[in-house]
Amino acid sequence: MTTEQPSTTTRGFTIKVVLSFVAVYLIWGSTYLGIKYAIESMPPYLMAGARFALAGAAMTAWLVVAGGFRGELPARKVVASAALVGILMLGFGNGLVVWAISRGAPTGLVAVLIATTPFWLVLIDRYVDRDSRVHPLVVAGLLVGFVGIAVLSGLGGTAPKGIDGPALLAVLGATLSWACGSMLSKNGPRPTNPLVSTALQMFFGGTALLLYSALAEDWSAFDPAAVTARSWLGFAYLVVFGSLVAYTAFIWLLRHVSAAAVGTYAYVNPVVAVVLGTILNAEPFTPRTMVASTLIVVAVVLLTRARSRPKRSLPPAVPAIGAATSCQR
């Protein structure tokens, strides 16, 4: 009796799946630290805008060469929808995250707070469709998540070391902006190739950030020669890996693996970010931070499980690029 060996094709597919998950888990989990390094010697909004504008241009060029536009340009309504989504998710969403990190907010805590994006998605979905029944897991997830945020924010006491009230509110505002952008992306007109939407979103989101940078930041005082090597490396990492490699891997996984499996990035990314921030950036990790982070991750797990049920599904918390999705991110 002989044992059938796995084919080369099967092994190759498995390797692609593993590498794609590694990319989504580790790269998106590390982009917060990349932002921290990049803005050490770069104007925050100029850095963020240039990052997404360059990534959007690079992805557009690749789509043109690879035939991703299928011989025709996106319709006007597709472009308009992508512009609005890009401004919400990247302009406002990523812009607020960059602002919070520029104020010294620990990257690990920022990532944990970003993981609460599904909470807004649930609430928005409930508001839009009030006749829908709320799954018990959703209720449990919202309650656990609220407790986690309350513990993290020091409700009734002092906030954890390294993050102040305005920064915390800015990150929560970013999650709301991402959720609104995600909902519009889900329900709005989209091209056949999702990478076309992503390229447009990054371009318009990056342009919005650059316009704001021109108004709020003094470009005449910026000297590219004074940018440190670590900042350049952080910027390059965000453009190439954070905005291009990880999102391409994410799209590939959505086409070849179950959505429930892909959705695990939502609670792996904050863990990666906390570990990297603690080890590489000496960020504080107190018992209260550990308890709050655990509660928020558990809440995201509950909400993800509720979304994966065959019953009416909730909109996915997808970074636009993420991500953002970052955002991403």
Output the pLDDT for position 270.
87
User: Which residues, in sequence order, are CB contacts of 237 under 8 Å at separation 6+?
Assistant: 30, 31, 34
Output the pLDDT for position 321.
36
Output the pLDDT for position 131.
63
Full 3-state SS string of 121-135:
HHHHHHHHCCCCCCC
Q: Give residue 199's identity as a one-letter amino acid code.
A: A
pLDDT (tens, 9 = 90+) of the chain, 329 residues, equals 455 555 667 888 888 899 999 999 999 999 999 999 999 999 999 999 999 999 999 999 988 888 767 656 778 898 999 999 999 999 999 999 999 999 999 998 898 888 888 788 878 877 776 666 777 888 888 888 888 888 876 655 555 566 778 898 999 999 999 889 888 887 888 888 888 888 999 999 999 999 999 999 999 999 999 999 999 999 999 999 999 999 888 888 888 887 767 777 877 888 899 889 999 998 887 888 888 888 888 888 887 776 555 544 444 444 433 443 444 46
Q: Comparing C-alpha atoms, which of 77, 74, 35, 84 is closest to residue 205?
A: 84
**Helix/strand/coil for 324:** strand
Output the pLDDT for position 290.
85
Quote the radius of gyration of the chain (alpha carbons, Å).
20
Q: Comparing C-alpha atoms, which of 265, 94, 89 is closest to residue 170?
A: 94
Output the pLDDT for position 193.
82
**Helix/strand/coil for 50:** helix
- Give the residue ranges of DSSP H helices in the chain: 8-22, 28-38, 44-66, 76-86, 95-102, 107-114, 117-128, 136-153, 165-187, 194-216, 229-237, 246-256, 259-262, 265-280, 287-307
